Chain A
C-alpha cells in the first residue's frame, strides 16, 4: 500500500504539468484580451499596450509559459492582472472557504442520504422510499442558484433564522452548505438503497442471521460494510462535482471562496488566477481520488494494491 501511494504521488507533478500546459493553451486560444480587460473599456490604446508589455503578453507563447513555469516551481503562481495581488495569497485565503463549504455540503449529503437509503432498502416501496424518489427528482431538476434563493427567502427573509449571505459564523454556513448538499442527498440515498438491497439478498446475510446475529448487527457489521464500496467511489467522484457546484453557491451567498474567485477571473481573462485556481482544483481532485483508493483497501481487505 505504501509504495502504491508513493508511486501515485510521484506521478502528481507530471499530471500538474500537463494540466498547466492545457490550461495555458486554452486560455490563450480562447478570444479575449487580458490587458484590455484589466484596463477597462474607457482606457486608451496606449495604456492598454503598456499593460500588455508590463505583463509580458506581447512575448511569444513559449516564452510566457517558460516564465510562468519558472515561477511556479518556486511556488509563485503569478499576480492577478486585475488587482495586482499575488495569486498564491488569494488562493490561500479562498481555498479554505471553499473546502469548508464543500465538506459541509458533503457531510449533509452523507448524514441525510445514507440513513435514508438504508431505511428505504429495509422498507422498499414504503413512504421513505417514495420520499427519496421525490427528493431525487427535485434535486436533479432544480438548479443550485434557484434552490439557494428559495432557502434564502424562507430561512433568512421570511423566518429570519439565518443570515442571508456572507461568511463568519456557523450560522452563515448553514444555507450555502444545504444548497450544495441537498441535491446529493438523493444520490446517496438511492445508491445506498440499491446496494443494500443487493447485499441483503446475499447468502452471507442469511448465514449471519442464521448464526444468531440481530438485524442491526447484520446490517451495520456485514451489509453496510459491503454496500459502502460504491458509496465511497461516488463520494470521491462527487467531491469534485461539489467543488464545481460551489462556484454557483458561492456567488448566490456571497461566499468568499475560490470558485467565485475563479469564475470572476475567467470573465475578465485574468490568466494567472484561472491557471492557479484550476491547478489547485485539479490537485484536490487527484488527492481525493487517491484517498478513496486508500479507503477501499481499508474497507475491503480483498483489495490489494501492488
Chain B
C-alpha cells in the first residue's frame, strides 16, 4: 500500500481515495488534465522547466503541512534507486525538483517532456506525508498517509481495509461516511456476497455469473483498456513478413470467440488501443476472411509454410486465456499453418519471455516461440507504444522494428504540442494496424461490475480503477 511501489489495480483504487496527486485527469476520457494539489502550472518556452503553484493550507492526515518540500520529497523518493519502484523509469526524465518557496515548486527535465503532466496523474506520483515515510521506514507500506478525501481507520491485510471520511479534505467531501474494501479471491463467493446484500459493489464478475447477478443486482458492463493478443515473432518466418502477420489477423473469427468463450463479454478490437486509452485512433476491425488469409500466406509461401508455428500461452492469467489460445490454434490450422502448443505457468512464462538471449532473433527468450499470448492495460499512449514498438526498447519482445514508427515515436516524445503529438500516435496506430502489426489482436476486455440496486454509479476508469467517493445510496 505504498503508492510509489504498488502496481495492483485494487490498491490503486484505494489510493485514489486516500491520496491526491499534483494534477489529475478530468474524467475517464483522459482528454484534459485539471488541478488537484497543484492549483496552476506554467512551462518555460524551451519546455525544460515546469512551475507548479500549490494549493495552500492543505494538511496530510497526520497533520504534516503539504508544501513544496513535500512535493520534492515525494518526487525524489520515487527516483531513488534504493526504493526500487517498478515505475522509476517513468520519472527518469526528471532532472531536478527545486523548491522555490513554500507553495511553489519547479520541476526541471533533461529533455522537453510532454508526458510530465500525464505521469504526474499516475497513482505512483501520489503525495505521501514525508513525516510518515520517515517515521515508518520500511514499514511505510503498512502505514500510508495522504491528503485524500478518506482516511484509513482500520486495515487488516487480506481481511479488510476500512476508510472514514476526512472532514478536513480540501475538495468535495466523500458521500459515504465509511467504506470497506475487502479482497475476495473466489469469483463465485464475490457473486454470493453481492446477491446476499453483504456488499454493495463486487468487481470482476465472471461472465458465466453475469446472468445471476443481473437478476438481483445491477450489472455494469464498462470498457477496459485491457487488450489481449498474441505477439508475433517478427524476426523469423513465418511472421518476419508483415503480410503473414496481417493474414493471421484475418484468419480468426473474433465474434465467435467472444460469443462462445466469453459469453459475449468482450469487444472486437478497433485498433491496438481499446476505449479509454489516451490518443485512441479507431481503425476498421479486421474481417474474418480465411480464404483471404490463405491467399496472403500463399503470396509469401507459395507452397504453403512448411515449418511449425510454436504457440505459447499462460493458463489462468487472463480471462479464459488457454481456451482462447486453443480456439486460435484451430483457426490457424484451418488456414494451413501447422502449430505446436505450449501452456505455461505465469511466473515461468514471464521469466522465459524476458530472458536475455542476445544476438539471436528477438534478443530474448521469446525467440524460441513464434507467437505468445499477452495482454496490456496501460492507458498512457507514449508508454503503451514505446514499450512494444520502439525497436530498441528493452520490453519489445517481438523484435519489432519499423523505421517510420521509431521516427514518429522519437518525435512525439519531445513534442510539446499536444495535438501534433496525439497525431503522431494516431499515425503509429494506423501504420501498425494496416501495414505492419506486431501481433494477432484477439479482443478488448470489458469490466463486469455488480452493484446493489439503487446505488449511484461509481466512476469506472478503463484502467479498471474505480472512484467511489461520490457513490451514495439513492
Contact = CB atoms under 8 A, between A and B. Distances in A.
A24 to B, nearest CB: 17
Contacts of A252: 186, 189
Interface in B192-221: 192-193, 195-196, 198
Contacts of B156: 93, 256
B350 A86 contact: no
Nearest to B7: A40
Interface stretch (B15-23, B137-145, B259-267, B305-313): B137-145
A260 B158 contact: yes
B352 to A, nearest CB: 7
Nearest to A252: B186
Interface string B325-364: 0000000000000000000011110111010000000000
A77 B376 CA distance: 34
Contact of B192 (A93, A153, A268): A153
Interface stretch (A124-132, A162-170, A289-297): A162-170
A36 B356 CA distance: 13
B348 A85 contact: no
Given A31-B347, A45-B354, A84-B141, A152 B84 contact: no
Given A37-B350, A84-B138, A50 B88 contact: yes
Given A37-B347, A164-B196, A254-B184, A50 B81 contact: yes
B86 A33 contact: no
Interface string B112-150: 000000000000000000000000001111100000000
Contacts of B196: 156-157, 160, 164
Contacts of B348: 30-32
Contacts of A256: 156-159
Contacts of B296: none
Contacts of A41: 350, 374, 376
B2 A32 contact: no
Contacts of A44: 89, 387, 393-395
A30 B346 CA distance: 12
Q: Chain B CB within 10 Å — which of A94, A251, A254, A257 has the most? A: A254
B380 to A, nearest CB: 10
B142 A85 contact: yes
Given A36-B350, A164-B196, A261 B158 contact: yes
Interface in A142-190: 145, 149, 152-153, 156-157, 160, 163-168
Given A40-B7, A251-B185, A256-B157, A268 B347 contact: yes
B283 interface: no
A44 B2 CA distance: 19
B86 A38 contact: yes
A153 B346 CA distance: 31
A238 interface: no
B123 to A, nearest CB: 13
Given A83-B6, A85-B142, A254 B350 contact: no
Contacts of B81: 50, 54
A152 B183 contact: no
Contacts of A166: 159-160, 182, 184
Interface string A250-293: 01111011001100000111000000000000000000000000
Most chain A CB within 10 A, of B92, B378, B394, is at B394
Interface string A29-56: 0111100111111111111101100110
B422 interface: no
B82 interface: yes
A241 B295 CA distance: 59
A152 B189 contact: yes
B85 interface: yes
Interface in B353-398: 354, 374, 376, 378, 383, 387, 393-395
B408 interface: no
Interface in B1-41: 1-2, 5-7
Nearest to B364: A45
A38 B7 CA distance: 9
Given A156-B196, A164-B196, A251-B186, A85 B350 contact: no
B319 interface: no
Nearest to B191: A157
Interface in B33-66: none
Given A31-B352, A47-B87, A267-B346, A164 B192 contact: yes
Interface in A36-90: 36-48, 50-51, 54-55, 79, 83-86, 89-90
B193 A164 contact: yes
A163 B198 contact: yes
A83 B183 CA distance: 15
B183 A79 contact: no
Contacts of A39: 7, 86
Contact of A254 (B84, B86, B189): B189
Contacts of A90: 157
A253 B354 CA distance: 35
Contacts of A164: 189, 192-193, 196, 198
A-B residue pairs, 8 tightest by C-beta: A45-B394, A256-B158, A32-B347, A39-B86, A256-B159, A54-B84, A33-B351, A31-B348
13 contacts: A32-B348, A40-B86, A44-B394, A47-B89, A93-B157, A163-B198, A164-B189, A164-B193, A165-B184, A168-B159, A254-B186, A256-B156, A267-B346
Interface of A: 30-33, 36-48, 50-51, 54-55, 79, 83-86, 89-90, 93-94, 145, 149, 152-153, 156-157, 160, 163-168, 251-254, 256-257, 260-261, 267-269
Interface of B: 1-2, 5-7, 81-82, 84-89, 92, 138-142, 156-160, 182-186, 188-189, 192-193, 195-196, 198, 345-348, 350-352, 354, 374, 376, 378, 383, 387, 393-395
